[in-house]
Amino acid sequence: MPKVLITPRSFGKHSDEAKRILTAHGFEVVTNPYGRILTEEEMKKEIVDVDAVIVGVDPLNADVLAFAKNLKVISKYGVGTDNIDIEYCKANNIPVTITRNANSDSVADFTFTLMLAIARRIVEIDKSCRAMDWGKKTSIGIYGKTLGVIGTGAIGKGVIKRAYGFDMTVLAYDMYQDDQLAKEYNVNYVELEQLIRESDFITLHLPATPETTNMFSEKEFSTMKDTAVLVNTARGELIDEDALYEVLKNKKIWGAGLDVFKKEPPEKKELLELDNIIVGAHAAASSVDAVNKMSLMAVENILANFK
């Protein structure tokens, strides 16, 4: 009986349909026994005799994959594959699939939620009211402002579509421009420096690569408006967290909304003490709709590629 390891904790959380499909196709299903992201040593132990794996952000580097003697397919629960050694997989004929667009709407929703929450200081206001402090807190608006979208893939496009209803001016930066998107939603593709300088809200939707690591650091923060909001629901590597802490602490920008960090929980714990940042536990994709869709798609990808 072929064996499949499932590491994402949210897999099948709201429906058992995906697991039932695997069982019906003769798979033995093994789920994450730790209740958290696995370490490299734990992955090495769990992956030894599996034929397939559905993986979240757990490590699947070459050292880990060397222990997977029976592995025939990797099904990424999501789209980012920076935790998987793709070159090793190619060299060893292990297909790697992704659940493309399964969580796009969920992440776009969460991105816009963070933008609104930071602008209107929702968390601060809620906290004060719970302490019986009914004093007014001045906030900033979002309607009619300038939105900078870095990365116009499925999620970036989703954010732009939502911004359209807020009558926002949209600037975009991407190596590959979407002319149809630009025409339909009046999007202006510009150089990164211009986007950072002119945007009231900036949202990141890029993978983590050597080129994008720390793309927001001291230089970029120094050119942002002092009323600007930065949102990251993509990858923590995109932001220099030390530099971000300094600009937030010194009120050099209005605020930030981060659902991702370089390490989760973040090593820069001082960030969690600031009142002009809202943090998430990499939860942007964790809606009932997205979880069900990703679970089913991850299973479909295994069945389509299993040998």
**Burial class of 250 by CB neighbour count within 10 A (0 to 12, 13 to 18, 19+):** exposed
Query: CB atoms < 10 A from the CB of 28, how many?
Result: 13
Residue 149 predicted with pLDDT over 70: yes
| pLDDT for the residue numbered 306 | 82
Per-residue model confidence as pLDDT tens digits over 191-240: 999 999 999 999 999 999 999 999 999 999 999 999 999 999 999 999 99
Percent of the chain residues topping a pLDDT of 70: 100
Q: Assign domain 104-279 to its CATH architecture.
A: 3-Layer(aba) Sandwich (3.40)
pLDDT in tens, 27-78: 999 999 999 999 999 999 999 999 999 999 999 999 999 999 999 999 999 8
CA dist 2 → 33, 35, 51, 53 (Å)? 19, 23, 6, 11
CATH 3.40.50.720-classified regions of the chain = 3-102+288-305, 104-279
- Predicted confidence band at 80 (pLDDT cuts at 50, 70, 90)? confident
Residue 78's nearest CA partner among 50, 110, 48, 106 is 106
- Name the residues annotated as catalytic: 235, 264, 282
pLDDT tens, residue by residue, 85-138:
999 999 999 999 999 989 899 999 999 999 999 999 999 999 999 999 999 999
Give the CA angle between residues 218, 219, 224 to the nearest 5°.
95
Tokens of 78: 């999501």
Distance CA 307, CA 293 (A): 24
How high is the pLDDT of residue 307? 61
Interacting residues of 271 by C-beta distance below 8 A, sequence separation 6+: 241, 244, 245, 248, 258, 277, 279
* Closest among 201, 232, 173 to 116, alpha carbons compared: 201
Class of domain 3-102+288-305: alpha beta
pLDDT (mean) for 277-290: 93
